[in-house]
Amino acid sequence: MRTPAKVRVGDAPDTRVVGPVSQTDIVRFAGAGGDFNPLHHDHEFVATSGFPGVIAMGQMQAGILAGWVSDTFGVEHVRAFGVRFVAPVFLGDTLTVGGTVVAITEADGESRANVDLVVSGAEGPVVTGSATVVVATT
């Protein structure tokens, strides 16, 4: 087991940049997750939907965010994780993934950090969320 990350309230671990999002990224995620909604791959359908182009499924961004949390803090230290979809992600978007430690509490004999999470595109947040992770305080 990895040693818990050492953090303080206000810390913002290194962000991750992902993208630009490609049609291949979306199709691969659709195949893995079984989400074959035509909004994610059918340009003719999307033209009738009101969206300006193909959109990535929200679970793709949630998965990217979950990967950042588990890589940053260790999957074995994650106690809770949740997201809210805020805005669509389009082909060509580049995403910045990160979070900020907003509180540290004690529970069940562990120090746990509450981390506010965000995935942002050029226009602002596309996914927000939170995680609770076991940490070592500094």
| pLDDT single digits (tens) 37-92 | 888 888 889 889 988 889 999 999 999 999 999 999 999 999 999 999 999 999 99
Strand residues in 34-77 grouped as ranges (E): 55-56
* pLDDT value, residue 138: 63
* pLDDT value, residue 61: 95
In a domain, 93, yes or no: yes
Domain total of the chain = 1
In a domain, 128, yes or no: yes
Helix-, strand-, coil-residue percentages of the chain, each rounded to 5? 30, 40, 35
In a domain, 28, yes or no: no
In a domain, 31, yes or no: no
In a domain, 112, yes or no: yes
Rounded Cα distance, 67 and 18, in Å: 11
In a domain, 69, yes or no: yes
Can you give the CATH number for the domain in which 12 is found?
3.10.129.10
| 35 vs 13, residue with greater confidence | 13
**Among 3-12, 38-47, 50-59, 98-107, where is mean pLDDT lowest?**
38-47
| 103 vs 43, residue with greater confidence | 103
In a domain, 79, yes or no: yes
Range of the domain at 99: 6-20+58-137
* pLDDT value, residue 64: 96
In a domain, 52, yes or no: no
Whether the predicted model's global pTM rises above the 0.85 cut? yes
For 13-27, the pLDDT digits (tens) are 999 999 999 999 999
Task: Please report which helix (H) or strand (E) contains residue 52, including its range.
Answer: none
